[in-house]
Amino acid sequence: MKLAAVFFDVTGTLIELAEAVGPTYARIAARHGIEVEPGRIGLAFERALEQAKPRLFPGLPRAQIPVAERGWWRERVLETFTDEDGTLPFANFDAFFSELFDFYGGGGAWRLRGHALPALLAVRRLGLSSGVISNFDFRLPGVLQDLEIQGFMEAVLFPARSSLAKPSAKIFQAAQAELNLSASQCAYVGHHPTLDLASAQAAGWHALDINSGPASQSLSARIEGLARLLG
């Protein structure tokens, strides 16, 4: 069948942090009276993520997922700062966490990757539908809106909306069902070997790895090539 839709992973594919975690955490902490070294707090955050359980809540009612996601992030930030010096000297940790959490829910914390807009424009030029399938939390629509790419999307699937998450094939099946398409009509663009590429292929989708292919060939050209191949 001809290609009809191209879906994208979000973090690491369409968008990336505008600034490393350490400097952001340090700057916002300073506004709450806490001075930390950005490099050290960045490493502490990485350790907290490595040791954490996946941010997935199977069986939890959809309405409760945002609360669980926010709580999961609060635990990671708490671990980051207790790992840093063994104490938590904030006068009001929750006020600090709320500011930090809200910041990462807006476009100011993120930027489009260089290939993102050309790829989205190529999908539109080809007359294909586009969307995202992501494990980003409930703040995703606000980020996409602030970065001015929400308008490209016919479908946006993420755990707080669909109660599904990668690497389950079910989230890909939900995406194709939303657009009334078959698996063979859909392609997924990502970078993670398991969460993106293997899971899309397991669902019967075509998969494009942003980190593979000729260095001289842009992502938009690769999407156009796939569309021609399936044309």
Indicate which CATH number applies to the domain containing 213: 3.40.50.1000
Question: What is the mean pLDDT of the segment spanning 172-188?
Answer: 97
In this structure, the answer to whether residues 104 and 160 fall within a common structural domain is: no
Q: In this structure, are 219 and 152 located in the same domain?
A: yes
Query: Which amino acid, one-letter code, is at 65?
Result: I
pTM equals 0.93
User: Which residues neighbour 114 within 8 Å (Cβ) at sequence distance 6 or greater?
Assistant: none
**Who's near 186: CB < 8 A, 6+ residues apart?**
3, 4, 5, 6, 7, 172, 175, 176, 205, 206
Task: Tell me what percent of the residues of the chain surpass a pLDDT of 90.
Answer: 87
Q: What is the pLDDT of residue 213?
A: 77
Total count of domains within the chain: 2
Domain that holds residue 29: 18-108
23: domain CATH number is 1.10.150.720
Q: Are residues 95 and 45 in the same domain?
A: yes
Looking at the fold, whether 75 and 61 belong to one and the same domain comes out as yes
Measuring CA to CA, which residue among 133, 112, 134, 130 is closest to residue 121? Answer: 130
Structure-token pair, residue 162: 């669909």
Question: Taking a C-beta distance cutoff of 8 angstroms, is the pair 157, 10 a contact?
Answer: no
pLDDT at 59: 84
Radius of gyration of the chain from its Cα atoms, rounded to whole angstroms = 19
> What are the start-end ranges of the E strands in the chain?
5-8, 15-17, 110-112, 129-133, 155-157, 186-190, 206-209
Domain endpoint, select from 65, 89, 108: 108
Confidence of residue 56 (pLDDT cuts 50, 70, 90): confident
